[in-house]
Amino acid sequence: MQHVESAASSRGQYLSFTIGGEEYGVDILRVQEIRGWEKVRQLPDTPEYVKGVLELHGNIVPIIDLRTRFNLADVAYDAATVIIVLSVEVDSRTLAFGVVVDGVSDVLDISSSQILDAPNLGTRINTRYLAGMVTLNKRIVILLNVDKLLNPEGLELL
């Protein structure tokens, strides 16, 4: 496997979280806030993984359940369930999306030299949404590319 090089910096921090027993990570600079699960306003005629919207700080934010999006078994939301509000770049604008995950794990300090290309097999999600994978203390963390996961072209696929 080839190493993925980061043009921005040689080290970065990632917020790690779990979905269906697997550990994922997103660039911490994209995280606006972490909230406990709360009921969302459902919208008609939306895909199952779009749970609805929340009003956050005067903005309406769509909430997407990554567990449902990744075709994992449904579970009841509990005290560990959280919404991670992420900023994404869409058509030169910064927008916010919330993603529902099973729980938040840690903040990881990762060097770009540790990040490997994601293999085409063995993950539950399309590899175009992945920034790479890293092994830390014998555990694999799947790093998500937020802009590719949550852009208008990808919303149909979400």
> Shortest CA distance to 24 belongs to which of 157, 154, 129?
129
For the domain made up of 11-155, the CATH class stated in words is: mainly beta
Residue 38: other Cβ atoms inside 10 A: 10
The pLDDT assigned to 81 comes to 94
Radius of gyration of the chain from Cα atoms? 15
Q: Encode the chain (158 residues) as per-residue pLDDT tens digits.
A: 444 444 445 889 999 999 988 999 999 999 999 999 999 999 998 888 889 999 999 999 999 998 888 778 889 999 899 999 999 877 788 889 999 999 999 999 999 999 998 776 555 566 777 889 999 999 999 999 888 766 454 444 33
- Helix H or strand E encompassing 17: strand 11-19
Query: How remote is the C-alpha of 51 from its chain's centroid?
Result: 15
The pLDDT assigned to 74 comes to 87
The pLDDT assigned to 32 comes to 96
- Encoded tokens for 36: 């406990």
The pLDDT assigned to 156 comes to 44
